[in-house]
């Protein structure tokens, strides 16, 4: 049997090593001083059994056990702990341990646990050396089952919420090279549950070639302490293209070095399609000879077409964000409150207005207002279309004067 010993105390490792080597069929393939090194050594050495302490710096034995159980399910893990309490035992078994040995009983119980595992008699995890009165492993496991059931129900509700919202989450442990995706994230990349390899380089290959370099570079160079956020395209196995928004948070170890990332990806494909349609519509509006202005709920300019620039003299950049009635010094033929009331009840309004252009000239327009729902904010915005009737009004006024004479 090839055994990896994991404990942050040299004296404990020596004692365990000496004890295990009393058996002729045992070879110590390696040692580790914390959970992080345990994962690295386990990945490299692939031992048959790991004797793992619980309380260790950097990454504790429970976290290390959970990771190793995922990447090396055939490796058996014996937990060592000074804690002789059912709660700790329950956690160890939940993480994937096959046996739990209280440290005070190592000298006569560790070999027993080892022999039980070697014979393949482990139908359920066993506890060795506990002084707890009437301790019942099955009771601990039953409590774990109840807890796990409640946890699964909570996770299922979260998973359903993520599915509806088209959100997936991940955790990337930089030092250990462990990259975990939940099934919802795999689905956002067009993958079946459990088929992502867990390799960072494979994630890069899933990104659209035109977006890959910029996305990967931004991720790697993201300043410490700042949230990473970016958008990119991915190509599914069926060759369809989808848009994702990624957000991630960076965590350092006690020495200030990068240790892990946690984050989410959000499917924004529909939003991008809506944006593309909106841009197409705005390009069409730019072809109009009329001045077309989109106003938000505060009457601020959100879009200003070429016709508006030609009529009033302000560029789109100059007009953006200004309240239209203030910018244009609008003169109303009827109270604005009455116009707004009609707009709310009927969804549209039409009438004559007088505006001031950038050069100070007054312009009379036939103005048509229509209410629509902004696709992004969901707020009621107004599209204002103004047709210049200044000259027509002047001609009509001139004609009226001649008739009066």
Q: Where are the domains of the chain?
A: 2-132, 166-267, 273-395
User: pLDDT digit string (tens) for 214-241?
Assistant: 999 999 888 877 889 999 999 999 999 9
Query: Which among 31-40, 65-74, 321-330, 368-377 has the top mean pLDDT?
Result: 321-330
153-194: pLDDT as tens digits: 655 666 666 666 688 888 887 766 668 888 899 999 999 988
* pTM as predicted: 0.49
- Highest-pLDDT range among 114-128, 222-236, 301-315: 301-315
Identical fold between 166-267 and 273-395: yes
Output the pLDDT for position 231: 96
Domain covering 2-132: architecture = 3-Layer(aba) Sandwich (3.40)
Q: What is the pLDDT of residues 40-96, one digit of tens each?
A: 999 999 999 999 998 887 788 888 999 999 999 999 999 888 877 777 788 888 888
* 166-267 has CATH 3.30.450.20 classification: yes
Assigned CATH class of 273-395: alpha beta
| Residue 238 to residue 206: CA distance in whole angstroms | 12
Mean pLDDT calculated for residue range 371-387: 89
């Amino acid at each position: 049997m090839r055994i990896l010993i994991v404990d942050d105390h040299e004296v404990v490792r020596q004692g365990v090593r000496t004890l295990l080597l009393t058996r002729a069929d045992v070879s110590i393939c390696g040692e580790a001083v914390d959970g992080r090194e345990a994962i690295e050594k386990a990945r490299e050495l692939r031992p048959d059994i790991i004797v793992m302490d619980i309380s260790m710096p950097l990454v504790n034995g429970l976290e290390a056990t959970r990771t190793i159980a995922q990447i090396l399910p055939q490796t058996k893990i014996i937990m060592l702990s000074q804690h002789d309490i059912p709660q700790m035992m329950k956690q160890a078994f939940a993480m994937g341990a096959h046996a739990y040995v209280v440290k005070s009983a190592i000298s006569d119980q560790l070999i027993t646990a080892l022999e039980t595992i070697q014979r393949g008699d482990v139908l359920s995890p066993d506890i060795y050396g506990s002084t707890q009165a009437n301790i019942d492993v099955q009771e601990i496991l039953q409590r774990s089952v109840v807890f796990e059931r409640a946890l699964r129900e909570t996770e299922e509700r979260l998973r359903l919420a993520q599915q509806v919202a088209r959100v997936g989450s991940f955790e990337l442990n930089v030092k250990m090279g462990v990259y975990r995706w939940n099934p919802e994230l795999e689905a956002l990349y067009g993958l079946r549950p459990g088929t992502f390899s867990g390799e960072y380089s494979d994630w890069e290959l899933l990104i659209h070639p035109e977006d890959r370099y910029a996305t990967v570079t931004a991720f790697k160079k993201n300043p410490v302490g700042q949230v990473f956020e970016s958008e990119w395209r991915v190509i599914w196995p069926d060759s369809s293209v989808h848009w994702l928004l990624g957000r991630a948070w960076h965590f350092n170890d006690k020495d200030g070095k990068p240790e892990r990332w946690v984050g989410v990806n959000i499917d924004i494909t529909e939003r991008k399609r809506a944006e593309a349609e909106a841009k197409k519509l705005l390009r069409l509006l730019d072809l109009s000879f009329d001045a077309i202005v989109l106003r938000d709920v505060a009457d601020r300019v959100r879009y200003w077409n070429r016709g508006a620039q030609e009529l009033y003299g302000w560029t789109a950049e100059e007009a953006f964000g200004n309240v239209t009635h203030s910018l244009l010094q609008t003169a109303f033929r009827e109270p604005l409150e009455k116009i707004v009331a009609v707009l709310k009840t009927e969804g549209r309004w039409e009438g004559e207005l007088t505006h001031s252009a950038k050069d100070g000239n007054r312009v009379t327009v036939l103005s048509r207002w229509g209410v629509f729902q902004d696709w992004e904010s969901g707020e009621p915005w107004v599209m204002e279309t103004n047709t210049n009737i200044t000259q027509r009004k002047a001609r009509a006024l001139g004609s009226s004067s001649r008739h009066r004479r």
